[in-house]
Amino acid sequence: MKQNAAEFLGTFWLVLGGCGSAVLAAAFPNVGIGLHGVSLAFGLTVLTMAFAIGHISGCHLNPAVSIGLWAGGRFPANKLLPYIASQVLGAIAAGAVLYVIASGAAGFDVSKGFASNGYGAHSPGGYTLVAALVTEVVMTAFFLLVIMGATDKRAPAGFAPIAIGLALTLIHLISIPVTNTSVNPARSTGVALFVGGWAIEQLWLFWVAPIVGAVIGSKAYQFIASED
């Protein structure tokens, strides 16, 4: 229960910090943080929580990461569903808090996106379904490769949170224009539920692609890191 609670709180922080920066601060008049600030915010949420709860739950904060670690032999199957449920619930709770905060501003319109992920007409750069699919698979695959490598017993001790947080920052710098960056089904779900409509209709991609990418990335790391 403590591990599940840690995953709930950690994912809450990721969505509130990352999506909150996008909704509240990205385009704030005159001092908006823009794409670079949002990218850094997502990275910082993972970095800070990895130090805070990594020793409790492993700080997955992401169903794709949990599934990828399971596929890579680093996580037991019997913990998958409780972890994923905790992550999704934490993301939804953060989405609810963010909605309450954002709706306190005059002119707030949740239909404008609310940091949801999308493709086609709902991609920030108008990218196609295929482009979005490839982006999410590849970005998540490399995210898992970094996670697996940084937490390997042979890696320098104590630096994994920094490597993982910076990897997520880099992923956002690359892919925000394409999909608004998911690589995390819980993050996508937590805000899509409040947008409804197109965000729910396109949500399938942001479950399927990150999970596929995570498995590919974990298997790739197993191959290159094998001592056989």
Q: How many domains does the chain have?
A: 1
Q: What is the span of the domain harbouring residue 189?
A: 2-225
Residues 217 and 68 sit within 8 Å (Cβ to Cβ): yes
Q: Does the structure show a pLDDT above 90 at 44?
A: yes
Instruction: Report CA torsion sign: 160, 147, 185, 175.
Output: positive
Q: Which residue has the tokens 């990594």?
A: 54
For the chain, give the mean pLDDT. 95
Rounded to whole angstroms, the Cα distance separating 172 from 181 reads 6
The predicted pLDDT at position 227 comes to 77
Provide the percentage of residues in the chain whose pLDDT is more than 90: 89
* Confidence band, pLDDT 50/70/90 cuts, at residue 106: confident
Residue 211 DSSP one-character state: H
Q: What is the pLDDT of residues 112-136, one digit of tens each?
A: 889 999 999 999 999 999 999 999 9
d(Cα 76, Cα 221) in Å, to the nearest integer?
18
Angle at 220 between CA 206 and CA 214, to 5 degrees: 15
Collect all residues with Cβ–Cβ distance below 8 Å to 28 and sequence separation of at least 6.
none
Instruction: Count other Cβ atoms within 10 Å, centred on residue 2.
Output: 9
pLDDT at 228: 66
CATH number of 174's domain: 1.20.1080.10
Q: 29-43 pLDDT, tens per residue?
A: 777 888 999 999 999
The CA-based angle 67-72-73, given to 5 degrees, is: 100
Best CA proximity match to 41, nearest among 62, 60, 14: 14
Q: Return the structure tokens found at 109.
A: 């319109």
pTM: 0.93
Q: How far apart are CA 129 and CA 119, in angstroms?
A: 6
**Residue 150 structure tokens:** 């940084």
112 class by beta-carbon count within 10 Å (0-12 exposed, 13-18 middle, 19+ buried):
exposed
